[in-house]
Amino acid sequence: MPADRLRTVLQRIVNAADAAGRPPPALLAVSKTHPPEAVAALAAAGQRSFGENYVQEAAAKRRALGEAHPSLQWHLIGYLQSNKAALAAEVFDWVQSVDRPSVAAALARHRDPARSPLNVLIQVNVEDEAGKSGCRPDELPALAERVADEPRLALRGLMSLPVPHPDPEQRRPAFRRMRVLFDELAARHAGVDTLSMGMSDDFAVAIAEGSTLVRIGTALFGPRPG
Ligand X SMILES: *Cc1c(COP(=O)(O)O)cnc(C)c1O
Q: Which residues bind ligand X (CB under 6 A)?
A: 30, 32, 53, 77-78, 161, 199-201, 215-219
Minimum CB distance to ligand X, residue 67 (Å): 27
- Max alpha carbon distance in the chain (Å)? 46
Tally of helices (H runs) and strands (E runs) in the chain: 9, 8
Q: Tell me the torsion sign for CA atoms 106, 108, 114, 117.
A: positive
Rounded least distance, CB 114 to ligand X, Å: 30
Which residue in the shown chain puts its C-beta closest to ligand X? Answer: 217
Phi-psi sector, 21: left (phi>0), alpha (psi -120 to 50), beta: left
Of residues 5 and 148, the one with the C-beta less far from ligand X? 5
* Residue (of 60, 146, 64) closest to 105 by Cα position: 146
Shortest distance in whole angstroms from residue 47 CB to ligand X: 14
Alpha-carbon distance of 209 to 203, in angstroms, equals 10
Q: 178 or 216: whose CB is closer to ligand X?
A: 216
Nearer residue to ligand X within complex by CB, 184 or 201? 201
Of 71, 111, 69, nearest to 88 (Cα)?
111
Residue with Cβ nearer ligand X (50 or 106): 50
Report the nearest approach of ligand X to the CB of residue 224 (Å): 7
Q: How far is the CB of 53 from ligand X (least distance, A)?
A: 5
Nearer to ligand X, 65 or 221 (CB): 221
